[in-house]
Structure 1
Amino acid sequence: MQIQKSEGGLAIVFRKGKDPVKDPVKDPVNLIAKNEKRIFEILTDRPKITIRELALIVGINERNIRKNIDKLKNKELIKRIGSDKSGHWEVVKK
C-alpha cells in the first residue's frame, strides 16, 4: 500500500501481491527437470537400481542418466551409499 499526495487530495495505491498458487514454493524437488524428477522418484522406490536399468525405464542413454544423477547429487537430493556394485541410493530430501 502506498499513499500519495496530489493537488486534489490523497490517493491510496494498492499493489496486487504474488499469488501463492502461481508462485511455487522454493522446494528443491519442485525445481528439478522432468528427467531428474523421474529418476528421483524411481530412486525413492528402488534404491538398488542400476544406471542401465534407469536408462531403460526413463528412455534416455546411460550418459544422460549419470548427468541427471550428478545434478541431483549437487542439489543434495540424493547420495550414493557404498560402492557402485554393491551400494544403494539414499534419498536425502523428499
Structure 2
Amino acid sequence: MAGLAETTQKTPQRILTGLETKILNEIIKNPRISRREIANILKISPDTVKEYLEKLKKKKVIKRVGPDRGGYWMVSEEESR
C-alpha cells in the first residue's frame, strides 16, 4: 500500500501543461537554448519562460547543467522518450 501512495503523489507532479510541453519540446530540440530564444519562438515573455522553467525544474522534468552562459538543459530520461 505504501508504494501505491507514493505513486499517487508523484504522478500528478509529472502532468505537464500545454505551455510546459511546448517549452520542453524546444529544450529537447536544442538543450543549449536560452530563455530569450524560447520566448521568441513561442511568442511569450522571457519572464513567463523563467516561471515555467522553474515549474519544470520543480517537477524534476529538467535540470540546468553548468553556468547560465555556456550551460545546457538536461531532460529526465522519462520525458525525453
What's the % identity of the aligned pairs?
Answer: 31
Alignment: residue pair count: 67
Give the distance between the partners of 1:73 and 1:41, measured in 2 at CA: 15
When the two chains are superposed, the root-mean-square deviation of aligned CA atoms in Å is 1.2
1:21 aligns with: none
Deviation of 1:58 after TM superposition, in Å, equals 1.0
Give the distance between the partners of 1:39 and 1:53, measured in 2 at CA: 11
1:64 aligns with: 48
TM-score, length-scaled by structure 2? 0.78
2:35 aligns with: 51
1:75 aligns with: 59
2:26 aligns with: 42
List runs of 5+ in structure 2 lacking aligned partners: 1-10
Q: Which has the higher contact order (CA 8 A, sep 6+)?
A: 2
Deviation of 1:68 after TM superposition, in Å, equals 0.3
